Amino acid sequence: ASADAWTHPNSSHDAALDADGSRPTSDVSPITSSSALAVFSSQEWITLQGEKVSDGAPMGFSPLRSSFLEQCKKRLFTPLEFMFQEAVSVDENGVAIPVLPTLPSRYDIAKIDSNIREELSLADPRQGGGDFSMATMISDPIVSMVHEFCVLAKRAISEIDENEEAETEAMAHNLKVAGVMSSLASFVRNAPENTYVNPYRPSQAPQHEEASHSCRVALLPALQEIESLVKNTILTPLTQVLNSHVATVMSKMHRSGAYLQDPRDDGSQATSFVQIHLVDQFDNIASAYLTPLPNEYASIVASTVATFSIYSFVSNAAMIRPLGEASRLRLTQDLADFELSLEQLVFKGGTSLSLSQIAGGKPYSELRAMRQLLFWNMLDDKTLSPAEVAKALLRETWVKDVRPSTLFHFLFSFAPTLLTSPHHFKRMDAHQYVGAMIKLDGSVDDGEASAWMTTMACCDAYQQRESVDGSMADGDRRVGAILMILGPELLRRRRQ
């Protein structure tokens, strides 16, 4: 059968021509999905592609394509032999000492970019004499090359050591690796346009744009692998270390009794916890870790640190007990300073998002709602029953922005002494209890159910002691009942 028998299944190859030599339009059927499927599933097409083997030998163009791709891969892989080479150093006694691997220079990365564009240009009829349809095929060796580059880079990434000096050196080395990976990702991302579109501007044709688009799609797995490597092996360990440092500083809120001290007798203002302990911490994070990172990675670190810091600060503040009027005023001022410090941290992270847009705006909304929570005074009305207080609290507009655990722990500041605080019930320090609720990556959902279980246990234990309380009550006895009413409803709202 001739080729036209399967390329034109619904028309006759021998159809009569019109007077001007053209074929009648009534004889040619438009290309449809069914006709295209018939072509691409036909035996002739399969033979041409070489997808089947005859007598142990590949058929069609398969050997030629395999040979072409093998040579492309060989040229692309050649520069990788000199990437991330292990450095060797010895001390004065000739004993080998561990040294961080040597990182590729800008020239090395530029050479890889040049090789990528040279291979892609083979699909350009004017440059390499090929065809634009080859762009997707040539992208496969590039993806393989990027995979091998990521394997080498992963071996060069240093694990974070517990020693502070070694930790700083290892993290600085990893930040440089992140910069190398960012440069490679930028070259891979821009290669299609730099190869097929930019040389022809401003007279590029639609086929140039189409070739660039199909090549970008084919190179997406390479970009995704780079992003996954950097996030999993560099950014995640970095944010965990930084957040653990922030959590250690936050613990001083309870250890030093920062908000339990009265203002100074001489009338001067009490010192700000945020100004003393947190501002310098955030400035150090910005200068030492965010500045060396590329913007796309610095924004991830800044967002994660800001999210964790907000949740940690709010949770620690909610657990202060007792919380007097002067402490509330100082805490309100510190909340404003804290917000300003985080805004500067996020700005230095290079992200276009503001603090109110990070993590869907939930951390920032809770930070703002905490100010209103501090001056909630419904318990001042002693005539209200626990059910009435709970209903009034649930009607507050800011309640939806506050995690249930924050509200639970804040109410403990009004409770009698016999109602044990949750962290005391668990026999933990306050910062340890907060650390169990808030993970170092900033996620908080898993800790809410655990906080409610602990709150219920505290209320059950208080009910058993309530008969002993008598005239020794130094707080509001309604708090336990209010908590038992609020808990199920708040958790139900959070699940919705």
DSSP per-residue codes, 396-413 = -TTGGGS-HHHHHHHHGG
Residue 344 exposed, middle or buried by CB count within 10 Å (0-12, 13-18, 19+): middle
Rg (CA), the chain: 33
Burial of 369 from C-beta contacts in 10 A (0-12 / 13-18 / 19+):
buried
Q: Which of left, alpha, beta for 112 (phi over 0: left; psi -120 to 50: alpha)?
A: alpha
Distance (Å, rounded) from C-alpha 241 to C-alpha 440?
8
pLDDT for 131 equals: 74
Smallest Cα–Cα separation from 406: which of 441, 440, 378, 376? 376
Say if CB 180 and CB 233 are below 8 A apart: no
Q: Sign of dihedral through CA atoms 112, 113, 118, 121?
A: positive
Please calculate the CA angle 61-65-71 and round it to the nearest 5 degrees: 155
Kindly state the tokens that stand for 260.
């339990």
Cis peptide before 422 (omega within 30 of 0): no
Antiparallel, parallel or unpaired: β 53-54 and 57-58:
antiparallel
The partner residues of 284 in beta bridges, in order of sequence, read none
Q: Residues 103-155: pLDDT tens digits?
A: 898 899 999 999 999 999 888 887 766 677 788 889 999 999 999 999 999 98
- In angstroms, rounded to a whole number, what is the distance separating the alpha carbons of residues 6 and 59? 19
Query: What is the per-residue pLDDT for 48?
Result: 60
Measured from the Cβ of residue 49, the count of other Cβ atoms closer than 10 Å reads 14
pLDDT at 43: 66
Is the Cβ–Cβ distance between 192 and 215 less than 8 Å? yes
**How far is the C-alpha of 77 from the C-alpha of 112, rounded, in Å?**
9
SS3 357: helix
DSSP 352: S
**Pairing of β 57-58 and β 89-90:** unpaired
Q: What is the pLDDT of residues 324-350, one digit of tens each?
A: 888 888 999 999 999 999 999 988 877
Q: Shortest CA distance to 277 belongs to which of 198, 204, 334, 215?
A: 334
> Alpha carbon of 60 to those of 6, 8, 48, 347, 496: distances in Å?
17, 21, 5, 58, 59
The stretches in the chain having pLDDT less than 50 are 1-17, 20-22, 25-28, 31, 162-163, 265-268
178-233, pLDDT tens digit by residue?
A: 999 999 999 999 999 999 888 888 878 888 888 899 999 999 999 999 999 999 99
- The beta-carbon contacts of 283-291 under 8 Å, at least 24 apart in sequence, are 285/242, 285/345, 286/344, 286/345, 286/348, 286/349, 288/168, 289/171, 289/175, 289/238, 289/242, 290/345, 290/348, 290/349, 290/350, 291/348
Residue among 311, 295, 309 nearest 352 (CA): 295
Asked if residues 430 and 387 have their Cβ atoms less than 8 Å apart, the reply is no
Residues 6+ apart with CB under 8 A from 66: 58
